[in-house]
Amino acid sequence: MHNISRYIKDNGESCTRLYRKYKLQTDINEFVNLVDTNYPLSTYEFYKKFPTPNGGYFLNTYELPKEICNIISDSIGYPIHDYAFLWNWACITTELLAHIDDYESANGGKNKEHEISDFHKVVYTESVKPLNLIVALENWTRTDIYNPNSQVWESVTYGPGEILLFDNEKYLHRATVLHNPHNVPKRSLNCYVDRSILEKYDDFFENISFDGYQKK
């Protein structure tokens, strides 16, 4: 299961110290149909809160079907949790404001207006800090991740059939829908992998210290 060669090259590089991108190991149309069959769009609920001030549609699940879990796990080489959320920006949101998904943010921190979703209060606790996997279902997205060491934003583009992994609990990040955003919605399945697994079996954290800065 622990295969660190599964991530795909992006702009000539296998990965950066900030993210990895994987190819979903199944037909994307079949996968989207599988997701939509289990979680019809009509069951999503509207949610308007930071970091999507225009709102969007969410569906939280704490029992992701094994078939879906296995496809994603086989694609990245690591087991994932069975809790996840489905996200449909529905063309009403085209940009995600810069934020960090951590325990403090999930619980409002110093700014209750910037409190993120209730689901994240379950995901991010004082003792559990998983890594987010974004499985793109529809439209293409550019995610910008702030590198505190170089003090620049690093960008990665991903679309249907691709999976983005980065340390969203440590790094400030934002996102923009790229293709006809007012007519084609961005949709994704956001799930989680244990940080401890990658720390043990992968070199993803080899050059990153746990305060978010690259090791010297």
Q: Identify the pLDDT of residue 152.
A: 85
Residues 44-74: b if buried by 16+ CB within 10 A, e if exposed? beebeebbbeeebbbbbbeebeeebbebbbb
Q: Identify the pLDDT of residue 160.
A: 97
Contact 187, 59 (CB under 8 A): no
What is the rounded end-to-end Cα distance, in angstroms, of the chain? 30
Q: Is 2 domain-assigned?
A: no
Whole-structure pTM value: 0.81
**What CATH number is attached to the domain comprising 134?**
2.60.120.590
Q: Identify the pLDDT of residue 86.
A: 94
Give, for 195, the enclosing helix (H) or strand (E).
helix 195-201
Concatenated DSSP letters of 111-154 = -GGG---HHHHHHS-SS--PEEEEEEEES-EEEEEEETTTTEEE
Q: Is 12 domain-assigned?
A: no
Query: What radius of gyration do the chain's Cα atoms show?
Result: 16
For residue 106, give its domain range: 19-201
Q: How many domains does the chain have?
A: 1
Query: pLDDT tens digits, the chain, 216 residues: what are they?
Result: 444 444 454 433 334 567 888 999 999 999 999 999 999 999 999 988 778 879 999 999 989 999 999 999 999 888 999 889 999 999 999 999 988 876 565 555 544 444 455 666 566 555 556 788 999 999 999 999 988 877 888 889 999 999 999 888 788 899 999 999 999 999 999 998 887 777 666 555 554 433 332 332
**Pairing outcome for strands 52-61 and 152-158:** unpaired
Q: Is 78 domain-assigned?
A: yes
Q: Is 216 domain-assigned?
A: no
Supply φ then ψ for residue 47, to 5 degrees: -140, 120
Contact 96, 175 (CB under 8 A): yes
d(CA 212, CA 149): 8
Q: Is 132 domain-assigned?
A: yes
Q: Is 87 domain-assigned?
A: yes
Q: Is 11 domain-assigned?
A: no
